[in-house]
Amino acid sequence: MRYRCNWLCAILAVPVLVVTTVRADDQDTIDYRQHIMKGLNAQSAILGQIVAGAVPNDQLAQHLDALASIASTALKSFEPKVAGGESKPAVWNDWADFSKRMNEFSQKAAHAAKLAHAQGPDAAMTSMMEALTCKSCHDVYRTEKK
Amino acid sequence: MRYRCNWLCAILAVPVLVVTTVRADDQDTIDYRQHIMKGLNAQSAILGQIVAGAVPNDQLAQHLDALASIASTALKSFEPKVAGGESKPAVWNDWADFSKRMNEFSQKAAHAAKLAHAQGPDAAMTSMMEALTCKSCHDVYRTEKK
């Protein structure tokens, strides 16, 4: 009887486990890109503070380094086609445009960081502002959760 | 009468403006270090996902670059002695220890990043774990807001 129950339980349990595993993986994928976006958000907030003169600009190059490093990881985190989180389906439906924008963001952030190291914070300001086109992308590809 | 009121208003307004300005500056200082901590938190969460095998490790070096860049900015954000946020007074009362730990964290994060670039993600794991001593520092210097 116990043997039968074990088999029955195993048969019943397998689909549940499979579904759970798939869901967990999907949530991991969503969490990953959301952590990346949170990291970008934190650096953008700091850059905003620097532009506003609310905090000193003497660490601008390091903050741009961080922005550039995080930006360089963002596109790959969206490669698994897992809908959910705050991503609109357009991310995958318009992948060519989405990935073009992401790559441009990453390149511009790296350029601004390079400039800040080579020529100082003031020289990097224009490039930095050109890199931070967050809103134009979010308007198309993000459904912001209130 | 209007002239007098203007003067009176100006006299009354000045202390208010001064107080407001000081408070705004302090909040900016607190916001700055909190943005930095949020950035560190986001990267740590990602590193945790990588260690757990929840996401691929192929971007580990870039995430460690980001961690190291942010870590390099953290100590300076605490230099203004502005209590508040989640910082315990011990940050400034035990500055020698606090700054020693912060510098070590920054150096270890940079070392792990270097190792990940030079020898690959697996080789960087031990150094990365040694860098992430967040809790031991938070236990002493942070009052976590629930």
A-contacting residues in B 36-95 (Cβ below 8 Å): 36, 38-39, 41-43, 45-46, 49, 54-55, 58-59, 62-63, 65-66, 69-70, 72-73, 76-77
How many C-beta atoms surround the C-beta of residue A25 within 10 A?
14
**Closest approach of B45 to chain A, Cα-based (Å):** 7
pLDDT tens digits along B1-10: 344 434 433 4
Mean pLDDT for the stretch of residues B61-86: 97
Query: What pTM was computed for the model?
Result: 0.84
For position B144, what pLDDT does the model report? 86
For position B20, what pLDDT does the model report? 38
Helix (H, G, I), strand (E, B) or coil at A87: strand
CA distances from B102 to A68, A75, A77, B107 (A): 23, 31, 30, 9
Percent of chain A at pLDDT exceeding 90: 81
Q: Which two tokens stand for residue B144?
A: 């976590």
- Average pLDDT of chain A is 87
**Which residues, other chains included, contact B76 with Cβ-Cβ below 8 Å and sequence gap of 6+?**
A58, A59
User: Do the Cβ atoms of A44 and A132 come closer than 8 Å?
Assistant: yes
- Adjacent-strand bridge partners of A142: A87
Query: Searching chain A, which residue's CA lies closest to the CA of residue B50?
Result: A32
What are the chain A neighbours of B60 within 8 Å (beta carbons)?
none
| Least-confidence region, from A17-26, B7-16, B45-54 | B7-16
Q: Is the pLDDT reported for residue A15 higher than 70?
A: no
Mean pLDDT for the stretch of residues B122-130: 93
> What backbone torsions phi and psi does residue B84 show, to the nearest 5 degrees?
125, -175
The C-alpha atoms of residue A76 and residue B66 are separated, in whole angstroms, by: 16
CA distances from A103 to A52, A63, A108, A116, B121 (A): 27, 19, 9, 20, 23
Exposure b/e, A9-21, CB count within 10 A at least 16 = b: eeeeeeeeeeeee
What are the chain A neighbours of B55 within 8 Å (beta carbons)?
28-29, 32, 77
Interface touch A76/B58, C-beta < 8 Å: yes
Q: Is the pLDDT reported for residue B14 higher than 80?
A: no
CATH number of B2-141: 1.20.120.10
Q: Which two tokens stand for residue A128?
A: 């930095």
**Closest approach of B88 to chain A, Cα-based (Å):** 21
For position A4, what pLDDT does the model report? 43
pLDDT tens digits along A65-124: 999 999 999 999 999 999 999 999 999 999 999 999 999 999 999 999 999 999 999 999
CA distances from A37 to A27, A136, B17, B39, B46 (A): 15, 15, 36, 10, 11
Q: Does B99 touch chain A (CB under 8 A)?
A: no
More confident residue, B34 or A16: B34
- Average pLDDT of chain B is 87
Mean pLDDT for the stretch of residues A50-57: 96
Q: Is the pLDDT reported for residue A1 higher than 50?
A: no
The C-alpha atoms of residue A39 and residue B49 are separated, in whole angstroms, by: 15
Identity of residue A34: Q
Q: What is the CA radius of gyration of chain B?
A: 21
